[in-house]
Amino acid sequence: MSGKTEVVVYANPELLAAAVAARLVTRLVDLQAAKGSASLVLTGGSTGIAVLDQLRRSPARDAVDWSRLDLYWGDERFVPADDDERNEKQAREALLDHVPVDPKRVHAMAPSDGEFGDDVDAAAAAYARVLADNARPEDHGDVPGFDIMLLGLGGEGHTASVFPESPAVYETERSVVAVRNCPKPPPTRISLTLPAIRRAHDVWLLTTGEAKADAVALALSGAGEVQLPVAGARGQRRTLWLVDRAAAGKLSNVYLPPTA
């Protein structure tokens, strides 16, 4: 069961990052007011990290009770903990080291020099256990019903680290998988699967640039998820596409704001 799909277009990447950061603050505050806590799945990539950087700079960031926020990742590069390619390191530098998060509620995927060494399958299985341990009875399964999941996408249509026609895109049972031989470096990763992604209440897809325009248009026109995995990233309540004018360039019937 998928919720409604919406598309919001911003004039340029800078406006998108600032606007998404503001939208995120508002939504997290509302969730915490309604139920005491919230859960957020972070994404890497230039746009996802730019949003976190804008959030750190925003005076409104202190409206969020960071101690009552559970943080997860949609995927991770399987590299050492101090590697600049690591999504967790980038997120900590952009935001998490600057706000009072509860370390017990920051659920990072294991690095390649962590407790599982270079065994990426064991690291993926361990993250699946983390998800299962944090799922509640009302989630009806072994994945939490994430409040908000941030995702990016590649020009060929991948999201998280689920690539077109890869073993991960066919996975229907496991919530987290090891990914090898990725077509873009680094080649080894850990990723949530599409069924796990679809446990989120809201999925926010963030992307910018003309190189993403084909993938955006195809995903919104009903492409299949095997060839275009981002088409399978849908929220139970809402799927929100947050794109800039260039990435929306091949969409029809969508208002495009004037270039700032």
Asked if 54 and 89 touch (Cβ cutoff 8 Å), the reply is no
Using DSSP, state whether 75 is helix, strand or coil: strand
pLDDT value at residue 199: 97
Structure confidence at residue 260 (pLDDT) = 45
Other Cβ atoms within 10 Å of 258 Cβ, number? 6
pLDDT along the chain (260 residues), means of 10: 88 97 98 98 97 97 98 98 98 98 98 97 98 95 97 97 97 97 94 98 98 97 96 98 97 68
Other Cβ atoms within 10 Å of 175 Cβ, number:
23
In angstroms, the CA 225 to CA 231 distance is 5
Distance from the Cα of residue 25 to its chain's centroid: 16
- How far apart are the C-alpha atoms of 86 and 141, rounded to whole Å? 29
- pTM of the complete model: 0.96
**Letter for the amino acid at 89?**
K
Contacts of 129 (CB under 8 A, 6+ apart): none
Tokens 């690291």, residue located: 123
Strands in 238-244's sheet, in edge-to-edge order, are: 4-10, 238-244, 202-207, 148-151, 38-42, 69-73
The predicted structure's pLDDT at residue 124: 98
- Beta pairing partners, 88: none
Residue 211 confidence (pLDDT): 97
Alpha carbon 169 to chain centroid, angstroms: 16
**Amino acid at the residue 140:** H
For the chain, the distance separating the N- and C-terminal CA atoms, rounded to the nearest angstrom, is 38
Whether the upstream peptide bond of residue 100 has omega within 30° of 0, thus cis, is no
**What is the amino acid identity at position 74?**
G
